[in-house]
Amino acid sequence: MPGENLKVLNALDVAKTQWYHFTAIIIAGMGFFTDAYDLFCISLVTKMLGRIYYHVDGSPKPGTLPPNVSAAVNGVALCGTLAGQLFFGWLGDKMGRKKVYGITLMLMCLCSVASGLSLGRSAKAVMATLCFFRFWLGFGIGGDYPLSATIMSEYANKKTRGAFIAAVFAMQGFGILAGGIFGMIISTAFDAQFKAPAYEVDPIASTVPQADYVWRIILMVGAVPALLTFYWRLKMPETARYTALVANNAKQAASDMSKVLQVDIEAEQHRVAPQKQSYGLFSKEFLRRHGLHLLGTTSTWFLLDIAFYSQNLFQKDIFSAIGWIPAAKTMNAVQEVFTIARAQTLIALCSTVPGYWVTVALIDVIGRFAIQIIGFFFMTVFMFALAFPYHHWTQPDNRIGFVVMYSLTFFFANFGPNATTFVVPAEIFPARLRSTCHGISAASGKLGAIIGAFGFLYLAQNQDPKKTDAGYPPGIGVKNSLIVLGVVNLLGLLFTFLVPESKGKSLEEMSGENQEINEEAADSNKTVPVA
């Protein structure tokens, strides 16, 4: 029968939601929890690093990281993540999802701990070792993107697959939340134990020597949640789709999934062997079948992350305007960590976490395409609504409205393309290229993140050279930057039309692999006359 799937894969597609699904979500999700904690916790401690290592005697303001050092400390993990997504995405298709999965987790754990142990005789040496370990931490985090998405998609049933993959990604929200909460706890404990005056009262005494432990502990704790799931990652069997469709071992796939699903499954080894490895990533056939799909997934993730990571543009202005973060000179070093952590926690609670879980609830109801269109549409609307009357929003009476608009922008990023751009690449490509294509899509996103986080940091500087932040050249201003970001979101909406809807369809139906399986099985059954 044309298009008929292997029985082991069909069993996974129609399986009722059961305990092993939730186990897979927790195992893969804790990786993402760690990813988010590790990537976002650096923003909690950069101000403290400036106070400790770049204090200037006699300055009216606390020390801050120079622009180039700040960019390196904040951005090096993103560069590592981009490299890791490409490398481990490719490796996941070559060696198998399970083998590579443990490697990425150990790399994340080791580099989280090593980041907190960054040493040196000078500020430059400490920052250099921190950046070195943050790069390799990012490299491990990068591998988690394609592997977690691919593993979850290949384990899930087709009815609730979108929700399961989105739930793994939604653990990011809890990771950001945990970072903020832990930052508040550790800073409160240190502030109570080691009393210090505000910077404006006593610049030297405002940064107690023990403050050097605070940022190190915050960075090192990122290893804990990943370690808790390491044993279970090693115990997970290889996904049936990799075993059957890439390793060509339907018998092993049926055996593994019989244990997981607790049913007897026919092996059908004759349908996968011998298998021709048909088209590769750089073939004309891939370009014909999936070229536009890959363009769609890479471009939408790239454009989304430009907008998503540009939030740093006006986050500090918003927090300062509504009193969440007072002037730095009115606090000591540890209190500043607390106020930044509190602001991050409130934003996560108000917009980040709800947006992720609304996606989980609705993705298999209204579909990936609709959620991505809705998300990009409202991000465009709110960016323009912030941009054109920007002067209006900067007035003291209108600041609460500005915060509401800001929160809604990022609610619709998370109930929208931030989740769907992660889900879709794990569903629409063939098993032998699935991890690679997801890695390419994710790396494209991280390139956008680097542009959003750092390109716009320079671009958004005031057009008046006298009003720019210390060390930065003049830019186009925040208003014009917001207009550019609105256009970026509009382009994301348009490129979404290149991405197919995968709701309710099997992975093999989306990739065309069930047709390949039947064609190859038919070819292998043909009798060839002997000359």
Q: Which domains does the chain have, with CATH numbers?
A: 15-263+283-518 (1.20.1250.20)
Q: Are 242 and 154 in contact (CB under 8 A)?
A: yes
Task: Identify whether 146 is preceded by a cis peptide bond (ω within 30 of 0).
Answer: no
User: How many C-beta neighbours within 10 Å does residue 493 have?
Assistant: 20
Query: What is the identity of the amino acid at 522?
Result: A
Which tokens in the block code for residue 368? 């990936």
Q: At what angle do helices 67-95 and 42-53 cross, to 10 degrees?
A: 140
Rg (C-alpha) for the chain, rounded Å, is: 25
Structural tokens at position 120: 């040196």
Q: Which residue has the tokens 């949640």?
A: 225
Dihedral class, residue 4 (left if φ above 0, else alpha if ψ from -120 to 50, else beta):
beta
Q: In 96-221, which residue ranges form alpha helices assigned H by DSSP?
A: 97-116, 123-155, 161-193, 211-220
Contact 97, 155 (CB under 8 A): no
Q: How many CB atoms lie within 10 A of CB 201?
A: 12
pLDDT tens digits, the chain, 531 residues: what are they?
445 677 888 888 888 878 888 888 998 888 889 888 988 888 888 889 999 999 888 888 898 888 888 888 888 999 999 999 999 999 999 999 988 988 998 999 999 999 999 888 888 999 999 999 999 999 999 999 999 999 999 988 888 999 999 999 999 889 999 999 999 999 999 999 999 999 999 989 999 999 999 999 999 998 998 888 888 888 888 888 888 888 888 888 888 888 877 777 776 676 665 555 577 888 898 899 999 999 999 999 999 999 988 876 666 666 666 667 788 888 999 999 999 899 888 888 877 888 899 999 999 999 999 999 999 999 999 999 988 888 887 777 777 788 788 888 888 999 999 999 999 999 999 999 999 999 999 999 999 999 988 887 778 777 777 777 766 778 787 788 889 999 999 999 999 999 999 998 888 888 877 666 555 555 555 544 444
Q: Which two tokens stand for residue 395?
A: 């007035």
Instruction: Kindly state the tokens that stand for 118.
Output: 């960054």
**C-alpha to C-alpha distance for 46 and 316, rounded to whole angstroms:** 13
